[in-house]
Amino acid sequence: MTRLFGIAVCGALAIAAAPALADSVSDFYQGKQIRFVIRTPPGGDYDEYTRLFARFMGKHIPGNPAMIPINMPGGGGITAANYMAQIAPRDGTVIGIVSQGLAADQALGLSPGLKADLREFNWIANIVNSNQLLVVWHTSPTKTIEDAKKRETLIGTTGAGSASVQYPAFYNNVLGTKFKLVFGYPGGQDIDLAMQRGEVEGRGNNTWAGYKATFQSAIRDGKLNVLIQTGLRKEPELPTVPLFLDLVKGDAAREPSAKFMSYAVAIARPFAAPPGVPPERVETLRRAFDATMKDADFLAEAGRLNAEIDPLTGEQVQDIVAQVLSTPKDTIRQIQTTLGLPASP
């Protein structure tokens, strides 16, 4: 009887604590702003997705804070990630959209400038799961991935920590393509413009969902030529574009590298809060994301903007990031060797 009474008391206390916790979160966010850090300049799908999401998320957070997007480009997303890890307040008033390539960057030790440890981030969600593509403009003589093995093709990229560098570098070393990387563009939209102007022939990476959201006219007019896609399965709308994994399937020397990059793609366009944010606020932000994904007004606006929505929960993203960063050392060394990098000890 005493044990049953104790259980009943604990249950009652837990029920009573839940509203108190909600009130505490509401009181914290009342009248505040949440700064939403965007790792690119204005324009492009990182920016478009963040601004779309920020318009609707605030009403699903207790206290209804204002959501303020802030562009923080630099280093292929490293500047924004370092800001979140080292400078941003750790109280739930900052969220960032994180570069897709940074988990692979950290696992491989590519960028000494990356000071953030992504394992410490509080992952809120991923708004879309979409394959990475390498594309060329229709004027490029390179029409297929086989052509890319025969001729040098100029590919625009951002910084060393970005997926725009990682993927074409992988293709060069694993598939034998001859992509020549042109560094220094601030963001993907700048590469798109350079591609259209003829400064470069193509772009090292972007998601299919991102192109559909921001480059619909080029797709419609047949001006965007997709050479290869990386992910765990082909995009239904791109059945004839070769999948990276398929090109090395069964090859013991090359398949582990392809699998690593293909699983890293699942991170896609993730949102995170800095390390050290109180757990109840992380939970609140995660559930606000989930609610936004069911918001009829949000979904209608996403449809109007041709923004594909295919979300993963914060818990799922946290698990994917952990898997990428816990890749066995022998696989990491193999990938580093493939890329001509110094092997980890």
Q: Residue 168 and residue 176: Cα distance in Å, rounded?
A: 10
Q: Stretch 62-85: mean pLDDT, rounded?
A: 95
Report the pLDDT value the prediction gives residue 254, as an integer from 0 to 100.
Answer: 87
Q: Residue 199 and residue 282: Cα distance in Å, rounded?
A: 43
Q: Read off the pLDDT of residues 46-72 as tens digits, 9 standing for 90 and up.
A: 999 999 999 999 999 999 999 999 999
Q: Read off the pLDDT of residues 91-122 as tens digits, 9 standing for 90 and up.
A: 999 999 999 889 989 999 888 999 999 999 99
Q: pTM for this structure?
A: 0.76
Phi-psi region of 234 (alpha: psi -120 to 50; beta: other; left: phi over 0): beta
Whose structure tokens read 């093995």?
149
pLDDT exceeds cutoff 70 at 160: no
Tokens of 201: 């022939």
CATH class of 132-265: alpha beta
Report the pLDDT value the prediction gives residue 3, as an integer from 0 to 100.
Answer: 41
Q: Residue 198 and residue 215: Cα distance in Å, rounded?
A: 17
Give the domain ranges of the chain: 32-129+267-330, 132-265
* 33-38 vs 66-71, strand pairing mode: parallel
Report the pLDDT value the prediction gives residue 52, as an integer from 0 to 100.
Answer: 96
Q: Please, what is the average pLDDT of the chain?
A: 89
Tokens of 146: 């086989």
Q: Which residue has the higher pLDDT, 22 or 123?
A: 123
Q: Which residue has the higher pLDDT, 120 or 252?
A: 120
Element (H, E) at 225: strand 224-230
Query: Do the domains 132-265 and 32-129+267-330 match in fold?
Result: yes
Which one is the CATH code of 32-129+267-330: 1.10.10.60, 3.20.20.70, 2.40.128.20, 3.40.190.150?
A: 3.40.190.150
Q: Read off the pLDDT of residues 280-329 as tens digits, 9 standing for 90 and up.
A: 999 999 999 999 999 999 999 999 988 889 899 999 999 989 989 999 89
Q: Check: CB of residue 143 under 8 Å from CB of residue 294.
A: no
Report the pLDDT value the prediction gives residue 4, as an integer from 0 to 100.
Answer: 39
Highest averaged pLDDT of the listed ranges 203-217, 240-254, 256-270: 240-254
Q: Residue 328 and residue 289: Cα distance in Å, rounded?
A: 32
